[in-house]
Amino acid sequence: MDWPFFTEVLVGGLLSGVMYSLVAIGFVLIYKTSGVLNFAQGAMLLFAALTFVSLTERGLPFWAALLLTLAAMVAIGATIERTVLRPLVNQPPITLFMATLGVSYVIEGAAQLLWGTQVHGLDLGIDDRPLEISGVLISIFDLFAAAVAGAMVAALTLFFRYTRIGLGFRAVADDQLAALAVGLSLDRIWTSVWTAAGVVALVAGLLWGARLGVQFSLSLVVLKALPVLVLGGFDSIAGAIVGGLIVGAVEKLAEVYIGPFFGGGIEGWIAYVAALGFLLIRPAGLFGAKLVERV
């Protein structure tokens, strides 16, 4: 066993998993408060990346483009909640899911109408070159992405623990009827959560856009979040982080050590196999609420 090489592959997988976690967090925020599987998260991610890169290509400074894109994503998140999800309150989950699926196509169409269909390169000013640490080569960009993800998780933790809206979010997530009984406004909480999901989509979109290029297939990264959610749980931010790390590590290690026995190329689907097997053992995920309480 070449332990330095193993460590390099493992660390690379863990850092890649952080990128998956960023996408999964957007799902968790919505699902935890309203039970909606927001399939529009990928389209929001795409719209954020495409808006930012289009504004910078038109001559806007980095920070001006970032602030304008942030305002756009906040507006999109609040608009989706106000015009689509709020009228569908208490509808079956499949109805809400189909609504978000429809919203995703609307957002992608709006992005195409506003900015075109060209592929763009997105440069965040971070060199994607290897950095040697104790004989292990680690991508500088992956380290940057991990730092950004860590900062976002810390910010969300502080927000949900120490702000009034954050405490309201936790109350609604635990028991909506009890939250209503003590006077909390569900509409306000849901709007805030969708706004937060828009901000998460912005951060994830910039990082994924810098990694893969800004193109319409970027919205498909939501598919990478599904095994993360199955492993970590659909209603746990901590589960999204741990699930992303597991998926990233499994993909890289399996590709290097198992892939040669299958002719390679298993990195794209091995996570789904692992998630399917995990569903048979623990359907709620590592940190998710139990689906059935045994008496």
- Within a domain: 69: yes
The total number of structural domains in the chain stands at: 1
- Within a domain: 257: no
- Within a domain: 74: yes
| Of 207, 216, 196, residue with least CA distance to 73 | 196
Kindly give, in sequence order, each residue whose CB lies less than 8 Å from that of residue 130, ignoring residues fewer than 6 positions away.
137, 138, 139, 140
Pairing of strands 130-133, 136-139: antiparallel
- Within a domain: 293: no
- Specify whether the CB–CB gap between 46 and 108 falls below 8 A: yes
Range of the domain at 212: 19-221
- Within a domain: 236: no
- Within a domain: 3: no
pTM: 0.86
Distance CA 133, CA 208 (A): 24
- Within a domain: 251: no
Tens digits of residue pLDDT in 186-241: 777 888 888 888 999 999 999 998 888 888 888 888 888 899 999 988 888 888 88
Tens digits of residue pLDDT in 58-113: 999 999 999 999 999 999 999 998 898 888 877 888 888 899 999 999 999 999 89
- Within a domain: 30: yes
Phi, psi angle pair for 79, to nearest 5°: -65, -40
